[in-house]
């Protein structure tokens, strides 16, 4: 099997490719434009892997996409390429619409044309999909499957499309109405609707997944967990929006990668699967856990201080339209496909902190001048609140 992965040099995409190639589950064509968050160093050793190809292509370039499909003839598409940072979408929404909506439409159009060109004759009984290493065996494929019947378009999306979840409300299910709050979430919601429309109108064989907040190794340090880990290690302030009470469900990126593979192999065409980590935490709880774990490792705050890393916490003005809570109900993927997260949040966070400690060169290279300029633009103008420094 050969899979075309878009955005494969990004955080989740690179985790998916590492998962697929480490287990020899599929050959991979990585299509990535290598924007600021795309990093080939997140795919160590794959430049010498005969089952891996890299194509520096922007999904907004339809002609380039057509050439990639023509050259590589994939059996499936796993679409992760997207602008994904809410704060960036607030400061500059145009690129989110351009990439996440127009880029997805380009990919759908090319995939539809390509899928229609595939042979609709069977080439023999389908082999059983490879096992993933967890406790659920994958069943054999259909008795007869043609290349056209096997082709899949897997669209990877976010729980942010569902909008703000009241504190007392049950978690998001696959039937929760969309109510996006940020330009990022709105652009992803639009791309989800396009994918489902291509299935309904044109018969494109799609599956859709919506995931909760991911964390783990190789995450670009504009996101909450790596930002707080690296700031704490450097003795810098830990800026928390508002009162830090925003609730998110946290999913380890390696669990997510396995879930994506299971959905591609076993998911029902036209169906949506929510993927979560069963780990709701407030942002404040997450940051305090990072501080406590670093305290336990080093005994005191970075920068020569004698107190806790919690003393670095600084509450800053909230961002516009900040959703208070997200939570994922993963019962469909668990009951229908047998997947469950393998990482507890505490163990996964501890491993993530250790990874950033062990990889200072990777961190140094991604913290470029452009990254520093972004941090300055996003945080420097935010006033601290009355609950400011040292609250923990």
How far apart are alpha carbons 244 and 285 in whole angstroms? Answer: 8
**Residues with active-site annotation:** 159-160, 184
Any bridge partners for residue 339, and if so which? none
- Cα–Cα distance, 143 to 135 (Å, whole number): 24
H/E stretch holding 152 reads strand 152-158
Residue with tokens 């907004």: 60
| Pair of tokens at residue 60 | 């907004």
CA atoms within 13 A on the CB side of 112: 18
The b-or-e profile of 21-35 (16+ CB within 10 A means b, else e) is beeebbbbbbbbbee
Dump strand ranges (E) for 24-134: 27-32, 52-56, 76-79
Contact 311, 234 (CB under 8 A): no
Residue 145: left if φ>0, alpha if ψ -120 to 50, beta else—which one? beta
């Amino acid at each position: 099997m050969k899979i075309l992965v878009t955005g494969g040099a990004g955080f989740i995409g690179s985790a998916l490719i590492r998962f697929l190639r480490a287990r020899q589950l599929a050959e991979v064509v990585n299509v990535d434009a290598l924007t600021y968050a795309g990093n080939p160093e997140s795919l160590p050793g794959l430049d010498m892997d005969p089952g891996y190809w890299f194509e520096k292509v922007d999904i907004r370039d339809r002609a380039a996409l057509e050439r990639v499909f023509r050259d590589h003839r994939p059996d499936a598409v796993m679409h992760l390429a997207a602008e994904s940072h809410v704060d960036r979408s607030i400061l500059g929404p145009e690129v989110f619409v351009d990439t996440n909506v127009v880029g997805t439409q380009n990919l759908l159009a090319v995939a539809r044309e390509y899928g229609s060109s595939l042979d609709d004759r069977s080439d023999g009984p389908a082999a059983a999909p490879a096992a993933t290493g967890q406790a659920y065996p994958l069943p054999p494929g259909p008795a007869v499957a043609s290349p056209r019947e096997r082709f899949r378009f897997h669209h990877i999306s976010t729980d942010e499309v569902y909008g703000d979840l009241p504190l007392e409300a049950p978690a998001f299910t696959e039937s929760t109405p969309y109510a996006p709050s940020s330009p990022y979430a709105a652009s992803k919601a639009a791309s989800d609707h396009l994918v489902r429309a291509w299935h309904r109108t044109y018969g494109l064989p799609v599956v859709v997944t919506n995931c909760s907040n991911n964390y783990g190794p190789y995450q670009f340090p504009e996101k909450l967990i790596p930002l707080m880990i690296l700031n704490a290690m450097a003795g810098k302030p830990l800026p928390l929006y508002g009162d830090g009470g925003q609730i998110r469900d946290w999913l380890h990126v390696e669990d997510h990668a396995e879930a994506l593979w299971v959905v591609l192999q076993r998911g029902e065409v036209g169906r949506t699967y929510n993927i979560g980590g069963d780990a709701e935490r407030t942002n404040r709880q997450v940051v305090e856990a990072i501080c406590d774990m670093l305290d336990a490792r080093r005994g005191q705050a970075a920068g020569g201080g004698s107190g806790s890393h919690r003393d670095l916490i600084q509450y800053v003005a909230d961002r516009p339209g900040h959703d208070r809570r997200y939570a994922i109900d993963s019962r469909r993927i668990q009951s229908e496909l047998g997947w469950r997260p393998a990482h507890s949040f505490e163990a996964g966070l501890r491993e993530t902190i250790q990874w950033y400690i062990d990889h200072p060169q990777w961190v140094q290279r991604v913290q470029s001048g452009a990254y520093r300029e972004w941090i300055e633009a996003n945080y420097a103008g935010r006033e601290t609140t009355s609950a400011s420094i040292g609250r923990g």
